[in-house]
Amino acid sequence: NAGVTQTPKFRILKIGQSMTLQCTQDMNHNYMYWYRQDPGMGLKLIYYSVGAGITDKGEVPNGYNVSRSTTEDFPLRLELAAPSQTSVYFCASSSGSWKDTQYFGPGTRLTVL
């Protein structure tokens, strides 16, 4: 049981490039989330999903897109990378029950130059 896995661990992008951050969970959780964390700050919710085919915006969705075609996978897409998107990105999942707790992946450190 690997939990939540994220790839890649590190990435450097040039301004205007695009990329997809991958997130996979093997706990059969319905709910999945993407957060970003800027240096010295708390986590900000980008997008979340309550099940396959259902996604919704969080606090800071601009510049990102998501899709959820399967229960296991929740990729995050950056279309036109900007320096303001330099951050650490965390994916999380949860069961969605009343005693719900979120399980986080190890993060992807992204630098846009």
Partner 1 sequence: DAKTTQPPSMDCAEGRAANLPCNHSTISGNEYVYWYRQIHSQGPQYIIHGLKNNETNEMASLIITEDRKSSTLILPHATLRDTAVYYCIVRFTSGTYKYIFGTGTRLKVLA
- Which of 21, 31, 34, 85 binds partner 1 (CB under 8 A)? It is 31
22 binds partner 1 (CB under 8 A): no
Q: Which is nearer to partner 1, 17 or 37 (CB)?
A: 37
Backbone phi and psi for residue 103, each to the nearest 5 degrees, phi listed first:
-110, 130
According to CB under 8 A, which one of 11, 20, 22, 58 is a site residue for partner 1? Answer: 58
Residue 113 Cβ vs partner 1, minimum distance, rounded to whole Å = 20
Choose which of 22, 44, 60, 67 interacts with partner 1 (CB under 8 A): 44
- Residue 42, class by beta-carbon neighbours within 10 Å (0-12 exposed, 13-18 middle, 19+ buried)? exposed
Alpha-carbon gap, residue 105 to 6, rounded angstroms: 6
